[in-house]
Structures are given as structure tokens and as C-alpha cells.
Structure 1
Amino acid sequence: MTWWTVLIERLRRRRPPLLHIATDEGTGPVVILVHGIASSSVTFREVVPLLVPGHRVIAVDILGFGESPAPEGCEYRLEDHVDSLDATIRSLKLREPIILVGHSLGSLIVARFASLPRTWMSRRNEVSRVVLVGPPVYLSPSDIGDRWVRARVSAYLRAYDFLRLNKDFTISNAAIISRLLPKGIFEISERNWTPFVKSLEHCIESQTVVSDIASLTVPVDVVYGTLDAFIALGSMTVIERMRHVTMHRVDANDHLIRPRLARALVGVIDAHTTAETSASTAAVPAGEASGEQAVDR
């Protein structure tokens, strides 16, 4: 084997695997949907039909979940998820800016993706807006001053640690929950156990979402349900105060994207898409649009 063959083989092995594209429908501004941990693109089943009439909607399965590959030896770090998302988007050869929508773990993935520098060499697509749905924002307890918020976040992290360390308990209880939901919404099984525990440990328990959001130069919308059990009360205060972030609270909705939250999410996307495409005037500065809005649709 020549040195050239060896080099090509190494480059091939290092190439991030492409994600499964479950949906690519419609025409118009491009919206890319990225689901969360232990789920699949089915997460957005209520969203896609509402977006398709005015957008090109692309929904993917993240690395290790749904019908996407689960590479042997993958550590499922945030970088691994982002690299595969990046490779998949580049493979589509999109020419226009994209709106990135992430749910749960998908929020962390798209926030990191959007924070990466866009250079001629990287050939990354321009991101016009980031929408985070039910983002699990957990600062390190040592960085939280409020003792009540610190206690809540610590409890969440202990619970995640317990799930990772008790495989049989986690899988058996996940099976009970999954039977109550549409197929593909929630699954923790032998098949995706490794992607689940490693993504949980390396992306959610050890996360950089706050700094990633802070570094963004595009508008960020956060949409979440008031009954979302995966959001620790007070944990999102730090991002609520960022000038380029707008919060959208949806009453009577939990962590799943149910019809009420789907309508609110599409309303947020449509409102900004219309504003950006209907006029050539400058957009309203992000700081003027910051704050929290209650959404009841």
C-alpha cells in the first residue's frame, strides 16, 4: 500500500458520516429541523405540515438515532454531532441562508453549529436565525449563585447520572413510556444505548450551550412549554438576559412538540421569515426585540 493510499484511507475514515434525511419537502426559505436525544425526526411530525407551504423543510435524524448511522467507537461528543450535521448540510449544496431549529439536545447541536466560524475554507452555510425548542440549559452548579437554582440543576444532573449507571432500569422504564407515545418519539433500547449514554454525558451533562449562544451574531428564539419537566426553573435566566435572545413561553405544553407548541414554533419562524423577506429595510436590532413573550395558540 502506497503512502498516498494510506492517506486517502485515513481521510476517508475521518470523514463524518452523513445523517439520514427523513424529510426534504417544500420550497422557499430553508428550515432545518434537528431533534433531541433518544428520539428521531418524528419529533417534528406536528411541525412539518405547517411549515411546508412556505418553506423548504429538511428534517434529519441525529448521529446514532433514528435511521442515522451509529459509528463504531464514536464518543458522541457535541463535536461529533455537529460534524455530521455540517457534512450533511454541505452535501445538500444549499445556496441560501438557513434557519436552524433544534429541540432538546438538538438545541445544543444547532447552537454550537451556528457558533462555528464561516470561512471560505469551511464552506459552511450561512445561518440566518437559530430557534431553540425546550433547550436543557444546565450551568455547572459551582457557577450558580442562587442556591435554589443550584439545587434544582444539581438534582437534574444526579438524575441523568443515575440513568446512565442503571441500564436495565432505564431501558425498562423507557419501554413503558415509549408505548404511550407515537413510534419514534422516544426510544432507549439496546440498539441506541451507547449513543444515548454518551450523548447524555458528553453533550447534556457537560455542555457549552450558554457560551455558544452568547457568541452568536444572529437572532436566537427560545420556545418552551411551561410544563417542560426537563427545564430547571431559573436555569435559563442567563440566556434570557442576552440582547439577541427572545423567549417564547407556551402555556400548557410539556417537553414534547405537541400541536399547541408546534403552532407557536411555526408562528415564530413565519413571523421572522416574513419580516426578513418582505422588505429590504434593515431588520430590527436583536436587543430591541429581546424579552419574553407568552404564546397561546
Structure 2
Amino acid sequence: MTWWARRMRIMRRPRPPLLHVATDAGTGPVVILVHGIASSSVTFYEVIPLLTPNHRVIAVDILGFGQSPAPDGCEYRLEDHVGALAATIRSLKLREPFVLVGHSLGSLISTRYAAMERHGRVWAAWRRLTGRGTVSRMVLVGPPVYVSPSDIGDPRVKARVSAYLRAYDFLRANKDFTLANAALMSRLLPKGIFELTEKTWTPFIKSMEHCIESQTVVSDVASLTVPVDVIYGALDAFIAQGSLTIIERMRHVTMHRVEANDHIIRKRLARVLVKVIDS
């Protein structure tokens, strides 16, 4: 294929859609918040009021969820989510570095975005010359890190991660069961924190399969040169015990364990998150 043919092929690709910006409030250093699967920007309802006095806070709905578009035929691969996030961040025309915060699936999307930003050297250099914003720090909240079981040496960790992956496969294969249980869970939580319906079923199962069950977060974190903070609840049921060890050992990563907190960003974890951002 000639260089011209490759160029034309790239030009014919559809542009990534812009995500819904649910919050853009406050002044000061910029913090961008990216929520997780089957949720919305409401994920950060405990965090935003604590940040806006000293920061410009931007919270988006990820592709296929909240009020963001759900394009026909989208496979919800990590590249699809990252492309939409990148297009949205470009549209904001930020002229200073920003802190990028991801929760759950949002942490996988955000880390991939930062890794691609770093590897796109020409694009990154151009942004520095023009004053455009780049990621200055990563904060990952409750990241569902699942290395391929074949790459795990510890048999206990391998068994735990394998069990999680089998559970996700079961949820995808049993739609009625999953939707019924999701409806029960959503009634117990603030509106928007967990919303799995017929409308979001396709984004849910495809994002789970293509982003959570098959992920690049370990290599993405390893490739970064900016500080990375990982915050997780001691009661987080979506984190397999021992699965964070490989990230914890990286020199530029700082771990923060929050006692008496599950996967949801509750008040205790929100205070820790804001303290980490402000540090």
C-alpha cells in the first residue's frame, strides 16, 4: 500500500464522537474525571464539590453511557473509548497540564489515553509548542487489573483472576439474569451510579469483553513517566487479591488503600482522592 493510499484510508475513517461534558465548573488547575462501566459522571458526586473551590473540574460521560452518544456498530474497544475521550479533550482547548482521574473502566481508558499521548511524540511536541494541555498526573480509582492467567505465576492469584474472568463471561452470556440483578442493585444506589438497561446493554457487554477482560493497563502504566496514584477500597469486590501487585512495584506508582470502602467513591474515598490530587 502506497503512502497516499494509507493517507486516504486514514482520512476516510469516521471521526470519533464527542463525549457529553456533564460538569465543567470551578477555576484553577484542571482535573478531568472519567467514570466506569454501566455508570455516568454521577460517579463523582462526592468528589466534585470538594474539588471545585480550587480546581477547574471537568467530568465526562464515557462512550455509550450517561448522555454520551452510542454510535451504531461501535465495538466499544479501548481504542473507541480513547478516541472519543481524546477528541473531547482536544475540543476543550486546554492550555495547561491537567490531572486525569479514572474510576474502574475509566481508569483503563485514561491510562491508555496517557500512554498513547506519550508515544505520539510529534503530536505531543506540537502541543507543548502551542501550549495545549497534557497529562501531568494519573489517578486510578478502583482499577480492575486482570493480567492474563497464563502470565501469572502465583497459583492463588491465578485462580482468583480466572474466577473473575469466568464471572464476567457468565454475565455477558446471561442477559436476563444480569439485567434483573442490575435493576436490584441500581435501586440501592444514587441514580446514575449504576445503570444497566436494554439501552446500555451493548456498550456494557462489548466494553467488558474488549476493555476489561482484554486490557493493556499494566503495560500502559509501565510506559508512563508522570506520577501515578492508585486508590482502592479495602472492600472492593472488583479487585482480585494480588492483582495490583505488579503495578504496586513500579517506581512511579503510589498506592492508597482506603479502609471500609467498596468499589463506589463514597465520602471516605472521595476525601482521599481530593487529598491525593492536591498533594
State TM-score, norm by structure 2: 0.92
Shift of 1:13: 6.1
Q: Distance in 2 between matches of 1:196 and 1:63?
A: 10
Deviations 1:66-101 (A, max 9, x none): 000000000000000000000000000000001000
- Does structure 2 retain, via aligned residues, the 8 Å contact 1:138–1:153? yes
Structure 2 residue aligned with 1:179: 187
Which residue type is aligned with residue 243 of structure 1? Answer: R
Following superposition, the deviation at residue 121 of structure 1 comes to 3.7
Report if aligned partners of 1:118, 1:126 keep a CA contact under 8 Å in 2.
no
Which residue does 1:51 correspond to in 2?
Answer: 51
Q: Deviations over 1:45-69 (max 9, x none)?
A: 0000000000000000000000000
Contact 1:19 1:84 in 2 (8 A): yes
Structure 2 residue aligned with 1:247 = 255
CA deviation vs aligned residue, 1:241-260 (integer Å, no higher than 9, x gap): 00000000100000000000
How many aligned positions are there? 265
Cα distance in 2 between the residues matched to 1:11 and 1:88: 19
After superposition, residues 1-297 of structure 1 pair within 5 angstroms as: 11=11, 14-116=14-116, 117-121=119-123, 123=127, 125-271=133-279
More off after superposition, 120-129 vs 232-241: 120-129
Deviations 1:181-211 (A, max 9, x none): 1110001110000000000000000001000
- Which letter maps to 2:100? L
Provide the C-alpha distance between the structure 2 equivalents of 1:97 and 1:51, rounded to a whole number of angstroms: 16
Relative contact order, CA 8 A, sep 6+: which one is greater? 2
Distance 2:223 2:195 in 1: 33
Secondary structure of the residue aligned to 1:54 is: coil
Structure 1 unpaired stretches of 5+: 1-6, 272-297
In the other structure, the counterpart of 2:3 is none
Measured after TM superposition, the shift of residue 119 of structure 1 is: 3.9
Residue 139 of structure 2 aligns to a residue whose secondary structure is: strand
Q: Distance in 2 between matches of 1:231 and 1:239?
A: 13
1:54 is aligned with what amino acid? Answer: N
Cα deviation for residue 126 of structure 1 reads 1.1
Structure 2 alignment gaps of length 5 or more: 1-6
Q: CA RMSD in A?
A: 1.7
Normalised by the length of structure 1, the TM-score is 0.86
C-alpha contact 1:118 1:125 (8 A) present in aligned 2: no
Distance in structure 2 (CA, Å) of the matches to 1:83 and 1:38:
19
Q: Please say if residues 76 and 199 of structure 1, whose CA atoms lie closer than 8 Å, have aligned partners that are also in contact.
A: yes
